[in-house]
Structure 1
């Protein structure tokens, strides 16, 4: 990956990212209710387990951006700049 995005790749240790609450930081293996569901037993925060883990990884990497949410209809908001082609 580093050769495709020099200077923009951050290595993050994935340990416990699927068991840590992205809202309060509590780590509990039983918070992962299923493959798809995460519910913090400490603060009650609930969301998709993959989304929770991704938020923890983004936090560990020091990024506070969302990967989706642009207009229209949820298009990626944070994409690489695209070249603009002008016709003569």
Structure 2
């Protein structure tokens, strides 16, 4: 973390990653059962569904205080061949 901070001053944000894979990025409810599988997140409270890794990444961006832009593909946020364009490097 120190070396990254030196290489990218003011662009590295330390984020607490607890519950990012269990928290709904749409409504904020934490639910262990929302992870239907390793790849699928489906909120039982609001019905939001996407790829579990995309949901966790959205939660990390929210925790870092940055605007969120989803980059998922077809239903359930299947991956696309695009890299996210961000000015910040988030470290867990």
TM-score range relative to shorter protein: 0.7 to 0.9
Is residue 39–residue 45 contact of structure 1 (8 Å, CA) maintained in 2?
A: yes
Greater C-alpha radius of gyration? 1
* Residue ranges of structure 2 left out of the alignment (5+ in a row): 73-80, 88-92
More strand by share: 2
TM-score calculated relative to the size of structure 1:
0.75
Asked if 1:56 corresponds to 2:63, the answer is no
* Residue ranges of structure 1 left out of the alignment (5+ in a row): 81-88
More helix by share: 2
TM-score calculated relative to the size of structure 2:
0.72
Query: Runs of at least 4 residues of structure 1 off by over 4 A?
Result: 74-77
Q: CA deviation at 1:7?
A: 1.1
Aligned length: 77
Task: Please give the root-mean-square deviation of Cα atoms over the aligned residues, in Å.
Answer: 2.4
Larger relative contact order (Cα-Cα within 8 Å, sequence gap ≥ 6): 2
